[in-house]
Amino acid sequence: METTLRGVGVSHGVAIGEVRHMGTAVLEPPAKQIPAEEAAREQGRARQAVEAVAADLIARGNLAGGEAQHVLEAQAMMAQDPELIADVERRIAVGSTAERGVYDAFAAYRALLANAGEYLAGRVADLDDVRNRIVARLLGVPMPGVPDSDEPYVLIARDLAPADTALLDPALVLGFVTEEGGPTSHSAILARALGVPAVVALPGAGELAEGTVVAVDGSTGEIFVEPSAEKRAEMESAAAARKAALSASSGPGATSDGHKVPLLANVGGPGDVPAAVEAGAEGVGLFRTEFLFLDDSKQAPSEEKQVAAYRAVLEAFPEGRVVVRVLDAGADKPLDFLTPADEPNPALGVRGLRSLLDHPDVLRTQLTALSKAAQGLPVHLEVMAPMVADRADAKAFADACREAGLQAKFGAMVEIPSAALRARSILREVEFLSLGTNDLAQYTFAADRQVGAVSRLQDPWQPALLDLVALSAEAARSEGKSCGVCGEAASDPLLACVLTGLGVTSLSMGAASIPYVRATLAKYTLAQCERAASAARAADSAEEARVAAQVVLSGE
C-alpha cells in the first residue's frame, strides 16, 4: 500500500528504485587493558592508522575534485588534529589498546561539542566517519560505506559523511535519503554538486526495509513508499517534462518578460569552474576562498599561491562578473594561525571579517593577491567581506581594500540580522550586498545550520527570512546598488522566482541548479514573481509560504 513520508528536499530530481542501506557502522572495540610495555607499539599503530585514513580521504578528494575535494581535505585535517591524537596516546599510555583509545578519545570530543552546544556539533557526522575509518583499519575490518550492488538503488542512511557522498556513482545511486542532516549540510551541498536527488531530515528513514521500492522527489522532500503504478507514471512524466524544459532553456537568466536576473555559480576553487561553465553560469557569485587556506591550518598560503588560484577562476569568465568572498575562517572552519582556540561558542565569536581585522596582514596579503590576479584580465572583479554586522565593519573592509590598491567593487555579505536591518547604512560604505541565506537563517532563528532537529527553521521559505531579504533588496534599490543572493536558497527554482519578486538582482548557486532555475524563471513575468513574493511574506510558516507562492505562479 502506498504511503507518503516527508523530509527536506535538498537536491532536485526524481529517483525511483529499491532501498539499499548504508553499511553497518564499526562496532565498539572491547575495553581490554594492555601491559605497559606494549603502549609504544599501540601508539605507533594508532598514528599509522590516522595517517592512512587521512591519506585515503585526500586520495578520495583528488578523485572527486571540485568542492568535494576541499571538504574531504578538511576532513583529513580533522583526522590529524594534534589534540585528538595526543588524547589517543594518553589513553594508550594508561592501558588502552590503539582502537579503544581512538574510540574513547573521539567519543569524548563528540560529547564535549554536543554538551557545549558549539557550532562544530554540526560536523558530528564527519567526526564519526573519521573515527569509524580509523577503528576499522585498526581492527582489520572493511570500512563503512555504500553497499555493493550491480543494480541501481536508492541509498538510505542515518547520515552520509562527505567521504561517501563525494564518490557516489550517479549511475548506481539513483538518489539518497538520510534521517539526519539539513539543507546546508555537507551531504546536501555535495548532492547538489553531483546532481543526485536527495532528501534529508526524514525521521524513521532507517526503518524502510531493504528492497522496498520508493520514489524520491528531491524538490518537494516527499518519499512515496511502494508507489502505485499511477504515482510512478506521474513522477516519471514530471521528471521527463522537467528534463525537456532544461534542455530547451539556455542563455542569460531572465523572466518571461525580459527582466534580467544574472545566474551565477558558487565555487570553492578552480576545480569547480568546468561544471559552472558547462551549466551556463554568467559568472561567479560566491568564490569561497577559505578552502585554499584550509590546505594548511598552521599558516596562510603564500601570496604567489593565492594569485595562481584566483587567476585560474578569473580567467574562466572573461567579461563576466566574479564575486570573491575573502577568507571566512572560524566556527566550523578553524585555522590555528587565525582563530581563537578557546571560544565557548565560535559561531558567535571571532569569525569572518572579525578575524581578518584582528590579523590585518592576512587580509592585506589576500587583497594584494586578488589585485595581482586580476591584472590584465577583462573580468569584473568584486570582493566582499563575510559576517559584516554594521557600518563600522563595512568601512573597515572598504578602507582595507583601498589601502591594498584593489581595483574592484567592494561589498558586504548580509548574514547577520543587524546587517539586513541597517542595510542602507552599510551601503554608504560599500557598493553591493550579497545575502548569505544559510547563516542569515541560522542567526535569525538561533538554529544551527547543521542540526537536523531544527531543519524547519533553516528552511529559506521562512517568512521572517523573506522579510530580511526584502529589507536588504529595498535598501539596495533605494541606493541604486545591487543585492544578490548566494546562499542555498537561490538553488530552489520556485524560491528563485520569489527572491526575484523581492527585488534581488542576481542569484548564485551550485552549478547543477542553474538549468533548473533558468528554466523556471523563464516561465513567469516579473509581476507574477512580485505577487508570489507578497503572498509568501503574508504566510505564517515556511510551508504556507511555499504553497502560497505556488498557487500564485500556477494561476490557481
Nearest CA-CA partner of 97 in 52, 25, 41:
41
Q: Is 114 helix (H, G, I), strand (E, B) or coil?
A: helix
Q: Which three cell numbers stand for residue 450?
A: 547543521
Is 486 marked active-site?
yes
Q: How far apart are CA 280 and CA 296, in angstroms?
A: 33
Phi, psi of 482 (to 5 degrees): -95, 155
Query: Who contacts 480 (Cβ-Cβ below 8 Å, separation ≥6)?
Result: none
Nearest CA-CA partner of 183 in 437, 419, 5:
437
Is 186 marked active-site?
yes
Distance of CA 165 to the CA centre of its chain: 13
> What is the 8-class DSSP label of residue 203?
T
Nearest CA-CA partner of 516 in 545, 552, 490:
490
Phi, psi of 70 (to 5 degrees): -65, -40
Q: Which three cell numbers stand for residue 86?
A: 595526543
CB 144 within 8 A of CB 26: yes
Q: Roughly what angle, to the nearest 10 degrees, separates helices 463-478 and 437-445? A: 120
Q: How far apart are CA 351 and CA 367, in angstroms?
A: 18
What is the β-pairing status of strands 213-217 and 222-225? antiparallel
Q: How far apart are CA 421 and CA 413, in angstroms?
A: 13
CB 49 within 8 A of CB 138: yes
> What is the 8-class DSSP label of residue 70?
H
H or E, element range at 516: helix 514-521
The radius of gyration computed from the CA coordinates of the chain, to the nearest angstrom, equals: 24
**Catalytic residue (one of 401, 483, 486, 529):** 486
Using alpha carbons only, give the angle 153, 274, 386 rounded to the nearest 5 degrees.
95
**Catalytic residue (one of 70, 186, 401, 497):** 186
How far apart, in Å, are the Cα atoms of 217 and each of 7, 242, 546? 10, 13, 16
Nearest CA-CA partner of 188 in 270, 197, 35, 89:
197
Query: Who contacts 205 (Cβ-Cβ below 8 Å, separation ≥6)?
Result: 5, 7, 156, 157, 158, 177, 178, 179, 223
Q: How far apart are CA 493 and CA 514, in angstroms?
A: 9
Q: Is the dihedral of CA 181, 182, 186, 192 positive or negative?
A: positive
Q: How far apart are CA 556 and CA 548, in angstroms?
A: 10
Q: How far apart are CA 489 and CA 470, in angstroms?
A: 14
Q: Show which residues are catalytic.
A: 186, 486
